[in-house]
Structure 1
Amino acid sequence: MAKDDDFQPEDDDDDEQPFTSYFQEEANKHQAEADTAADVAADVLQNARYDEFFAPYQPRFRESFAHHYVLARQAWISVGQANEDQPNRRLLIHAKDAYVALWAIQQKKLFDLQCRWRAEELTDVPGVVISDDFGTLSAAIENCAPLPAITAEEFALYLEWVRQADYARDLDDRNDGCFVWQNHRFIREALAPDAPPLIARVQPVLKKTVSDWYRFHNARTGHDRLLYLPDHRGAKEERYWNAWREQQREQEAIARAVGTAPDPRPLYLPPEEQEALATEFARHFESARLNRWRETKELLRPRQTEEDRRMDLMANFLLSNPEPVPVAAAADWREATRQAYYAYCHRQLLEQLPVVYDEYLQRQSWGITQPNRLDWELSKYDLARYYRGWLLAGRARLGEPEDFNF
């Protein structure tokens, strides 16, 4: 490894090192900012149309002002553009939370529909040919064709649940990533552990939970009966999955026999392991000075835990909130801050839900597509298309038609 103060890459060919394109783009961006700053500073210093503005000050003041003005102008642009590009920031953050939360109503309706489809009470659900298609519909729940619109009665029931729900446990899900909405086996095992066992299809290990809204809804509607319906469709699919898996095992055995088995070494590592590996790499290959800097950084700025990161977000939110937020007395300031934050967000959610529901109804009446609840398009990550192909391969292996009529 070259010395830390004169390191140069061995090869500057971007075609061979495509990862360098990111750094080149960043360099170009900063160079453009520097060029703009130089132009602004020159204009402030030399343009005669500002002479009258600076007349009350000493001539050298204009030089120091130009420096400070360039920095202030860059900050205005950076913050202003960020807020224009992401309008769901502070002023609209609670409306966004409410909009994301609203779709739990449709998620429950879609899950109930899935239970009936699996039991073959229903056979024609638009967009569904295999069970994994419910995951795709869930990702684009805002405009899910098989579901009727949210009724006033459904919204009233949901609002009743929100009022009594624990915000931290049940509602703190701004990015819609805490709850399992359509994983049939996972939800059945959580909500109906006494139900007959389902098919033994491999399920991912989920760091999520089932929303208490599902329990509340079932208790009020009697829809817990749907959890006990037989999974006829899943059993049929499992037969084809097993055929496909057997085919994969045979292909892997052939590959091992001819020496072309897949490389068993890891291609990716979790972030924590990546960081540990970077430290180990530095110890082996970097200079003593850089390793001293690394150790100093790790000592002064240790890796932040998820709990610490959440606490920073809460404290900064309350600190910059435009209205006072009451904080109850507590033995631990962290717990007091946490409870104040959750209570405030809960109040705001209850205020905003009727607003976003009225807006939802307005778009429905106008025939306008409901906007995505998140800042990214989850439907792009449609894994069901792969599952469809694998299922059809399993049917072909069993000598059956490569279609979904089974």
Structure 2
Amino acid sequence: MASDDDILPQDDSADDDRLPFTTYHQEEADRLQAEADTAAVVAADVLQNARYDEFFAPYQPKVREDFARHYVMTRQRWMDVGQADEEQPNRRLTIHTKEAYVALWAIQQKKLFDLQCQWRAEEVTDIPGVVITNDFDTLSAAIENSPALSPITAEEFALYLEWVQQADYARDLNDRHDGRFVWQNHRFLREALAPDAPPLQARPVATLKAVSDWYRFHNARTGHDRLLYLPDVRGTKEERYWDAWREGLREQEAIAQAAGTAPDPRPSYLPPEEHRTLATEFAGRFEPARLNRWREATELLRPPMSEQDRELQMITHFLLSTWEPVAVEGSPDWREATRQAYYAYCHRQLLEQLPVVYQEYLQRQSWGIAQPDRLDWDLSHHNMAQYYRGWLLDGRARLGEPEDFDF
């Protein structure tokens, strides 16, 4: 990479030797080439087919040439966007319904957490699918049809709807992909929901994304905050086996180190921001001067987008695509005004759609059919409890106890 002109190193290796992660680029190249071939055929047809002569007769030949160039791009867009819209005709119409369906399950998440507190205290001992504390994460991921929970009652739904009405959408509800809140983290939730815990606004951002204020509201109305103070009997029992398992890991590492096969201490993962830093350092050392000038110009004129700008970009994209007007109040800061208008709109839509999805939920209950998954997840990739079970049994074995969960 020493030459200033040799920006893109050439790879003369055969296709069979191509690295796996370059397959994407080849697939994209094939797709674009297919589009280009189709465009050439369409353009030639528009320009040369006599059956269009009458159509273009009112215009000079140059117009037909310009039309052919623009038409192939417009036609491709119809194919790309139109096909997606045809396959998902209600995509825009149902976005708020889908959000409401995801939000509905917060009711069951709170019931499951309360049940977890009782199970840990051994007030409840028989919960389908639960033998260790980590199993509650598995139940949480598949909350829609958990046999451990009773159906959502009208009273429970009314209480939740009351909370949604007074909640701050951006802080408490903006979670369409169910990724902001950790529903079953027992240790953290006990600390976060304690009466003497600092208010949400005073906590770090990472903490804000880990607890739902619905839990606090629910406790205040039901008195279930008492469950936070139940003794964690089961967790204490498990910790004894986890200590034994960890001791086994330390012994294995010591043996490996003595044999000269200790694990590689170097990082095996870098977060995205460190990858960018590493890319800058790599280019500065190995790329030609011209590419580094381009890099410096790019970094200067296009710095990484902030979370606030990324949020605003998402909001404006949504507002441009919505089918109804969204009122924006006057403000000296158009960004904040737009943000507030968007979240107020989403809050109204959520309140309208929650009763709809609840009635649909009740209908499925009465028919005896399963509730659909709230997210498109392959739960086999999210079920870590199966590994925790094995590790805990290893700990029991190290202490000379039976390899079962009867403890």
Question: Would you say same fold, with TM above 0.5?
Answer: yes
Q: Check 1:85–1:394 CA distance in 2 against 1; reply closer, same or farther (3 A cut).
A: farther
C-alpha separation between the residues in 2 aligned to 1:87 and 1:262?
A: 52
Q: Is the contact made by 1:244 and 1:391 (CA closer than 8 Å) also made in structure 2?
A: yes
Q: Once the two structures are superposed, what CA deviation does each residue of 1:110-167 show, in whole Å capped at 9, x if it has no partner?
A: 1111111111222221121211111111112222221122111111110011011111
Give the structure 2 partner of residue 290 of structure 1.
291
C-alpha separation between the residues in 2 aligned to 1:49 and 1:372?
A: 52
C-alpha separation between the residues in 1 aligned to 2:270 and 2:101?
A: 34
Q: Is the contact made by 1:327 and 1:337 (CA closer than 8 Å) also made in structure 2?
A: yes
Give the structure 1 partner of residue 200 of structure 2.
none
Structure 2 letter corresponding to 1:386: Y
The 5-angstrom pairing of residues 167-186 of structure 1 reads 167-186=169-188
Instruction: Name the stretch that deviates more: 56-65 or 103-112.
Output: 56-65
Q: Once the two structures are superposed, what CA deviation does each residue of 1:169-196 show, in whole Å capped at 9, x if it has no partner?
A: 101112211111000111001112679x
Structure 2 letter corresponding to 1:370: Q
C-alpha separation between the residues in 2 aligned to 1:292 and 1:28?
A: 31
Q: Is the contact made by 2:7 and 2:291 (CA closer than 8 Å) also made in structure 1?
A: no
Q: Is the contact made by 1:14 and 1:20 (CA closer than 8 Å) also made in structure 2?
A: no
Give the structure 2 partner of residue 128 of structure 1.
130
Structure 2 letter corresponding to 1:304: M
C-alpha separation between the residues in 2 aligned to 1:376 and 1:108?
A: 21
The 5-angstrom pairing of residues 53-72 of structure 1 reads 53-72=55-74
Q: CA deviation at 1:82?
A: 4.0
Instruction: Name the stretch that deviates more: 296-305 or 40-49.
Output: 40-49
- 3-state secondary structure, aligned to 2:374: coil
Q: Report % sequence identity.
A: 76
Q: CA deviation at 1:274?
A: 0.4
**Matched residue count:** 397
Q: Once the two structures are superposed, what CA deviation does each residue of 1:221-270 show, in whole Å capped at 9, x if it has no partner?
A: 11111111111111111111111100000000011111101001011101
- 3-state secondary structure, aligned to 2:264: coil
Structure 1: gaps (5+ residues): 196-204
Structure 2 letter corresponding to 1:114: Q
Aligned counterpart in structure 2 of residue 109 of structure 1, from 108, 111, 132: 111
- 3-state secondary structure, aligned to 1:370: coil
Give the structure 1 partner of residue 225 of structure 2.
224
Give the structure 2 partner of residue 154 of structure 1.
156
Give the structure 2 partner of residue 384 of structure 1.
385
Instruction: Name the stretch that deviates more: 83-92 or 280-289.
Output: 83-92
C-alpha separation between the residues in 2 aligned to 1:272 and 1:142?
A: 36
Q: Is the contact made by 1:325 and 1:340 (CA closer than 8 Å) also made in structure 2?
A: yes
Give the structure 2 partner of residue 345 of structure 1.
346
Structure 2 letter corresponding to 1:305: S
Q: Is the contact made by 1:118 and 1:232 (CA closer than 8 Å) also made in structure 2?
A: yes
| 1:190 lines up with 2:192 in the alignment | yes
Q: Is the contact made by 2:43 and 2:69 (CA closer than 8 Å) also made in structure 1?
A: yes
C-alpha separation between the residues in 1 aligned to 2:144 and 2:285?
A: 51
Q: CA deviation at 1:52?
A: 4.0
Structure 2: gaps (5+ residues): 198-205
Q: Check 1:192–1:404 CA distance in 2 against 1; reply closer, same or farther (3 A cut).
A: same
Give the structure 2 partner of residue 328 of structure 1.
329
C-alpha separation between the residues in 2 aligned to 1:283 and 1:107?
A: 50
Q: Is the contact made by 1:4 and 1:290 (CA closer than 8 Å) also made in structure 2?
A: no
C-alpha separation between the residues in 2 aligned to 1:264 and 1:84?
A: 51
C-alpha separation between the residues in 2 aligned to 1:13 and 1:343?
A: 53
Give the structure 1 partner of residue 80 of structure 2.
78
C-alpha separation between the residues in 2 aligned to 1:264 and 1:88?
A: 51
Structure 1 vs Structure 2 CA RMSD = 2.3
Q: Check 1:37–1:266 CA distance in 2 against 1; reply closer, same or farther (3 A cut).
A: same
Q: Check 1:19–1:107 CA distance in 2 against 1; reply closer, same or farther (3 A cut).
A: same
